[in-house]
Amino acid sequence: MARVFLIVMDSVGIGGAADAGDFFNAGAPDTGANTVAHIAQARSGLKMPALDALGLGAAVELASGTMAPGLGAAPQGLWGAASEVSKGKDTTSGHWELAGLPVPFDWHYFPDEEPAFPEEVTAAVMRAAGTEGILGNRHGSGTVIMEELGAEHVRTGWPICYTSADSVFQIAAHEEHFGLARLQALCEAVAPMLHEMRVGRVISRPFVGNAETGFRRTGNRHDYAMAPPGRTLCDWVKDAGGRVHAIGKIGDIFSMQGIDDVVRGTDAELMGHLAGALEKAEEGSLTFANFVEFDALYGHRRDVDGYAAALEWFDGEIGALLPTLRDGDVMLITADHGNDPTWAGTDHTRERVPVMVAGRGKGELGQVAFVDVAASVATYLGLEECGPGQSFLTPAKA
């Protein structure tokens, strides 16, 4: 038997997407975006010895033809670059496709204008919230709109509703003045209507603080995502008798479909949960983890230094965990999209992503598909179902 640890570094793209010109940030195409390489160039090098030894630097060059300063080690793991076919550069599309299910429809996106939402959506929110209006009703950065409208929200009690270039509907409210339970109930109430419109996620964005000291988000975010419209890797493992453990927002992304349990927290806390899974996860299990702070705290805010520090922190933590892998364990590290902090705008960037595998020797995988990740995990665990992808791993017993 074997165990697989599938880890998604949220937004850690490596450039080179063939269709990047079809995706835009602030009116400019994503052609040339490269999250890892551009951060490395801006910082005159990244210090990521663990992931570089697995093949990160080589994957950047394979994906985009670009050398990332500081990342030039000879790979000691399996490594490659993966491309997405779903017509989105968002969390849900990336994760579903990594799990073997390309998105079979076009997401709904709200226009970048005011008001951004149709009257029926606004009316539904007002009914569910019991308010006479909403605030926001536009595209915006969550941290910026919270600072701009937080005081008015506290005064009026109206929820702050906003969106982005992703297929999302976000509702921000003060945990104490509005109430966390009330906010989550509001999101849950309006989610079915928005999912029917093909809006991928309704996200509760609780915050605390005041106008004098400033407002800040809490760790009690919750995503109300559409359920996957088909079976994914999580279902394949579970139906074959294996356990599926979710770390981070994986449970939200898959609406708990095919998942046994979930733990949440900051990335530092999630790293502790990953260490616990390496110690306790059962044979035949899949541990599926998402580390979101690269994206949420640094990519969207175009914070190059913060993103670089997060990458180097992650590398140090993973480097400490790799020696704890058991014989037969596989750790597969990848990403779901890009979010180049040197790029125009504040949206995700369309990029290829790295694929790095520890526990199965070394070698170049080449250019692979997102769905090949799911097929490889399934093949390694000996599952009959493996979706539309092609495996780059052999069964554990081979």
- From the annotation, which residues make up the binding site for Mn(2+)? 10, 295, 300, 336-337, 348
| CA trace torsion 373, 96, 5, 272 (10° rounding) | 150
- What distance in Å separates the CA atoms of residue 337 and residue 351, rounded to the nearest whole number? 6
Query: Distance between CA atoms of 315 and 65, rounded to whole angstroms?
Result: 23
User: Cα torsion for 84, 48, 52, 386, to the nearest 10°?
Assistant: -40
CB 60 within 8 A of CB 68: yes
129 near 160, Cβ under 8 Å?
Answer: no
**By the 8 A CB rule, do 313 and 294 touch?**
no
Q: How far apart are CA 218 and CA 233, in angstroms?
A: 31
Report the distance separating Cα 77 and Cα 84, nearest Å.
Answer: 22
For residue 81, give the H/E element and its range.
Answer: strand 78-83
Feature table: binding site: 10, 295, 300, 336-337, 348
C-alpha distance from residue 92 to each of 100, 167, 211, 226, 383 (Å): 12, 9, 34, 9, 24
Tokens of 250: 């994986």
How many angstroms separate the CA atoms of 97 and 82, rounded? 11
